[in-house]
Structure 1
């Protein structure tokens, strides 16, 4: 009996060993069951067309532009953020995070925070190239997010960040919500007849250097969505404008996007020398809108479009 038991134990050990050896080797690109469950590792192709491999779900994230920060929070991952810029002000919790710089970033401080992931803006990728390389050399995953200039590009930013932080489903849901909000505004805008459409000048910075939003910007896209004409629609991007040239265009409405941060912005436009015959000034159709909502390429753009709509067509967008 004892001999039989020993033979059985030996057979069990041999079978167990054979079972281990018989397991198929993991092929290149094949994920384990645990990896499939977590969704990691993932490969993200960023705005520089570089493939960034993120091995595990990031637990510490640094965001280098407010729009990316807002996206992370909108995807319910704000607790993972450990560092933001001096300009981050939404949501309120973001203001209490460690500051890593403003126009220039403190690379040493960023490394000291030991982030798993840095979300960098495409708009500064060239000027910050050396600093971003330092982060990569320190073993930190750096994803450069596209400099969104349209609704579609904002959706792409959200998708990219959602994949990078392990929340692709929430990213898809956020995009769906934004699209639905835009669709509601577009439906209301159908009540505006072509002859009733107003020409709008959007002023994104005050005198002495006045800048506006031209074609191929999400502000231009907002105006088109709500049935308004952009007084600078024949210009590209974010051009500097000649005040006298804008007087000649005689817009029906002037909207400032800096009034949230500059006291009495609308009053300054109404009192601007040489503008007294501009229709918007004569009719006192000069309004301030929340800067962050209409100029920040993040999840609150639909709110910004609605604020623009209510300022321009208050009777239609109640």
Structure 2
């Protein structure tokens, strides 16, 4: 009888073991299927060539630059953002998020927000290196997004963020829409004859330290796209310019990009000493466009290019 009892107990233990093993296999199977469906885990290679493994779709995101924030919202994941910089102003909902600093970031506050993902930026990665390492040491995923200075690089930023937050398809669709918008503008620009092309000086910061957009910037790319000549096309990047040099270049049009942040930019240019003989000033061809649309490397660049086109060639782009 004792022997029979032992056999019964052993059989029961085997059944329990088999049942447990089957349940574990089922759970593993369900987990694998869920991972395949969500696309996670993913490995993102960021702007610093670091591979960041993100196990699950981030539910709490902190963005360290406005362009990253705009991209996340454009990918319909704005509700996941829990922290932004003092400079974030679009969309309107972003302004109500927790602020984590401006030129310097409050790392302690960022950690207290318990984010799954921090979207940093290549332009500040070096100065914020110690702080970003602190976040990593706290077990937070940090992806450094590239400092985009061309349309193609902006597409890369969108795709990188799309991969990191589990929205690669939406990122691909957003890039496609931007490309279509640029293509439409380029097609319209074909109506501009070479002799009708205007020389444009784009002023991205006012006197006394005037900066412009030279080659290797997306503003230069926009001007080329819409059939305009960049008066600073021989300069590289975001370049400081002497006011007298602009007078010598004698642009047909002057476009400022800081009216959103500075009062009366057009009046400043028209009243600038020594500029009364500049063609753009004489002909009253001085305009201001929305800074964020043309200088922020995000999804609204296509809108910026359209605004620039309508400003310079109102008869062509309607």
For the criterion TM > 0.5, the same-fold answer is yes
Q: 1:261: how far off?
A: 1.6
Comparing 256-265 with 100-109, greater Cα deviation is found at 256-265
Deviations 1:268-308 (A, max 9, x none): 10110000000000000000000000000000000000000
Deviations 1:81-115 (A, max 9, x none): 00000000000000000000000000000000000
Comparing 37-46 with 12-21, greater Cα deviation is found at 12-21
Q: Secondary structure at the match of 1:307?
A: helix
Match of 1:256 in 2: 256
| Residues 175 and 19 (structure 1), Cα distance of their counterparts in 2 relative to 1, 3 Å cut | same
Root-mean-square deviation (Å): 2.2
Deviations 1:176-213 (A, max 9, x none): 01001101100000000011100000000000000000
Q: 1:13: how far off?
A: 2.9
Match of 2:68 in 1: 68
Match of 2:281 in 1: 281
Matches within 5 A, 1:84-233: 84-233=84-233
Q: 1:15: how far off?
A: 9.9
| Residues 196 and 52 (structure 1), Cα distance of their counterparts in 2 relative to 1, 3 Å cut | same
The unaligned stretches of length 5 or more in structure 1 are: none
Separation in 2 of the partners of 1:87 and 1:134? Answer: 23
| Residues 18 and 146 (structure 1), Cα distance of their counterparts in 2 relative to 1, 3 Å cut | closer
Q: Secondary structure at the match of 1:118?
A: strand
| Residues 21 and 285 (structure 1), Cα distance of their counterparts in 2 relative to 1, 3 Å cut | closer
| Residues 183 and 15 (structure 1), Cα distance of their counterparts in 2 relative to 1, 3 Å cut | same
Q: Secondary structure at the match of 1:32?
A: helix
Normalized against structure 1, the TM-score is what?
0.92
| Residues 182 and 22 (structure 1), Cα distance of their counterparts in 2 relative to 1, 3 Å cut | closer
Q: Secondary structure at the match of 1:239?
A: strand
